[in-house]
Amino acid sequence: MTERCDLLISNVNAATMDPSLPGGYGAVEDAAVAVTGGRIVWIGPRRELPECAADQVVDGEGQWLTPGLVDCHTHLVYGGHRASEYARRLGGESYEEVARAGGGILSTVRATRAASAEQLYHGAEPRLKALLSEGVTTVEVKSGYGLELDTELKQLRTARRLAQHYPVDIVTTCLAAHALPPEYDGRPDEYIDLVCEEILPAVAREQLADAVDMFCESIAFTVEQCQRVIDRARELDLPVKAHAEQLSSSGATSMASKAGALSVDHIEYITDMDVAAMAENGTVAVLLPGAFYTLRETRVPPVDKLRASGVSMALSTDLNPGSCPIASLRLMMNMGCNLFGLTPAEALAGVTRSAARALGLCCSRGVLRAGLRADMVLWPMETPDQLAYEYGALKPSEIFFGGKNVTAG
């Protein structure tokens, strides 16, 4: 480290989430962190801090510092809402029944196609602000409510535009294979042709997506159709992920893992073979307890088996107008523990280190370590266990994005 730095935070306890340090949090008590050029240049026990002149010094007052949170699976940009469908489901209709009757994802497709880019942008802003107020510094945003080239592009451009105006990195994913659009009714293979031959190449040409996703389910696409989307994405040099095994078991998780997917998401219905395929290929399990909760599902993902097999488990909001209209990653930490059996330390790893891995970004964020981005959150708490345990009153006291203090208000 040089003898001067931009920012020095001292008198903090760091939940580094560094797996090479002991304990679930990789905790360093009474720590100091030095930042230059938006990156951490030194972190460790304060007494070992080398001589350093800082442009700005922050006294952490004994609070806890964590990595900036990463929400690795959202459908943040969409038109309309589905409150009436929620009431129908409370009345007994299932998610699949609503979808088969032309509602569900297709209802949001109609609203998203009808919305202007400006309307989509302003609709997404309050949801993004809610995430940012909780210390989220990286958000993945999927398309998938266009299901035609122009609207898919409109969604992805809107997502990119949000990052120009808010202190957040937005990672975009093309989810054109989300549902069968009505104009292709009865012709799913032809729609997959459109995805592979028109939509994905255009998105790749404009560099509008960082990855490609798909929904493999009886109300969406088959494993074979998803395999075609994966093959095309690989040809275009785009990493892949999949909505898999959410409502039934299909083999999508094994297929996607063997094809090198970054993550498979939902996975309530995976088998032991799927878990083995994920472990073997380093595929991250993205757990979405908010969708499980909202749809009042009963089958939980096999967390014990994933843990025993060493599969990284991320947690995310899945923020979307159907299965999870809940803009809180902190609440997902609590649900991940209460509903799925994660430990509080696993929940924090799930929204930092493992979420970064699910996006292919583990070299740049998700852990407090020299060389990584200085995305960091200071919390007024006595133990990091409070992040999963408490909800509502515990808010970040400071948020740093690329080393800059971006705390709102």
| Site residues, ligand NIG (CB under 6 A) | 75, 104-105, 108, 215, 243, 246, 291, 318, 320-323
For residue 177, the surrounding DSSP H or E stretch is: strand 169-177
Residue 373 contact partner, candidates Fe ion, ligand NIG, none, CB within 5 to 8 A by sort of partner: none
- Residue that the structure tokens 């095994």 belong to: 245
* 202 sits in which H/E element: helix 200-205
With beta carbons less than 8 A apart as the criterion, state whether 141 and 76 touch: yes
CB nearer ligand NIG, residue 199 or residue 287: 287
The residue sitting closest to Fe ion, measured at its beta carbon, is 318
Pairing of strands 4-15, 27-36: antiparallel
The greatest distance separating any two alpha carbons of the chain, rounded to the nearest whole angstrom, comes to 69
Question: Of the two residues 119 and 364, which places its CB atom closer to ligand NIG in the complex?
Answer: 119
* Three-state secondary structure call for residue 147: coil
Least distance in angstroms from the C-beta of 94 to ligand NIG: 12
- For residues 250-289, which are near Fe ion according to CB under 5 A? none
Cβ-based nearer residue to ligand NIG, 179 or 277: 179
For ligand NIG, the closer of residues 9 and 76 by Cβ is 76
Closer to Fe ion at the Cβ: 41 or 76? 76
Question: Residue 105's binding partner, choosing from ligand NIG, Fe ion, none, with beta-carbon cut-off 5 to 8 A by kind?
Answer: ligand NIG
- By a kind-dependent CB cut-off of 5 to 8 A, residue 255 interacts, out of ligand NIG, Fe ion, none, with none
| Helices vs. strands in the chain: H and E counts, helices first | 16, 16
Burial (CB count <10 Å: 0-12, 13-18, 19+), residue 23: exposed
For 322, the token pair is 């159907």
Among Fe ion, ligand NIG, none, residue 215 binds (CB under 5-8 Å by kind): ligand NIG
How far is residue 16 from each of residues 32, 352, 392, measured CA to CA in Å? Answer: 12, 10, 24
* Residue 138 binds which entry of ligand NIG, Fe ion, none, CB below 5-8 Å type-dependent: none
318: contact with Fe ion by CB under 5 A: yes
Q: How many Å apart are CA 234 and CA 191, to the nearest integer?
A: 19
Stretch that binds Fe ion, among 19-27, 251-259, 318-326, 330-338 (CB under 5 A): 318-326
Strand-pairing partners, residue 263, are: 241, 284
For ligand NIG, give the closer residue by CB, 317 or 334: 317
Backbone angles phi, psi at 339, to 5 degrees: -90, -35
CB of 216 to Fe ion, least distance (A): 12
Residue 246 interface partner, choices Fe ion, ligand NIG, none, CB cut-off 5-8 Å depending on type: ligand NIG
With CB under 5 to 8 Å by kind, the binding choice for 108 among ligand NIG, Fe ion, none is ligand NIG
Q: How many CA atoms lie within 13 A of 21 on its CB side?
A: 17
- 346 near Fe ion, judged by CB under 5 A: no
Phi then psi for 406, rounded to 5 degrees?
Answer: -120, 20
In whole angstroms, how large is the CA radius of gyration of the chain?
21
Of the pair 232, 243, the CB lying nearest ligand NIG is at 243
Q: Are 300 and 270 in contact (CB under 8 A)?
A: no
Binding positions for Fe ion, 97-156, rule CB under 5 A: none
Using CB distances below 5 to 8 A depending on partner kind, what does residue 263 bind out of ligand NIG, Fe ion, none? none
Measured distance CA(311)–CA(229) in Å, rounded: 25
Nearer to ligand NIG, 291 or 345 (CB): 291
- Of the chain, the end-to-end C-alpha distance in Å amounts to 33
CB of 298 to ligand NIG, least distance (A): 16
Q: Which is nearer to ligand NIG, 319 or 367 (CB)?
A: 319
Task: For the CB of residue 115, give the shortest distance to Fe ion in the complex, in Å.
Answer: 19
Give the burial class of 6: count Cβ atoms within 10 A of its Cβ; 0-12 exposed, 13-18 middle, 19 or more buried. Answer: middle
Q: Which does 372 bind (CB under 5 to 8 A by kind): Fe ion, ligand NIG, none?
A: none
Instruction: Put residue 11 in one of left, alpha, beta given phi > 0 → left and psi -120 to 50 → alpha.
Output: left
Query: Min. distance of Cβ 243 from Fe ion in angstroms?
Result: 5
Give whichever of 33 and 252 is closer to ligand NIG, judged by the CB atom.
Answer: 252
322 touches which of Fe ion, ligand NIG, none (CB within 5 to 8 A by kind)? Answer: ligand NIG
The residues binding Fe ion (CB under 5 A) are: 318
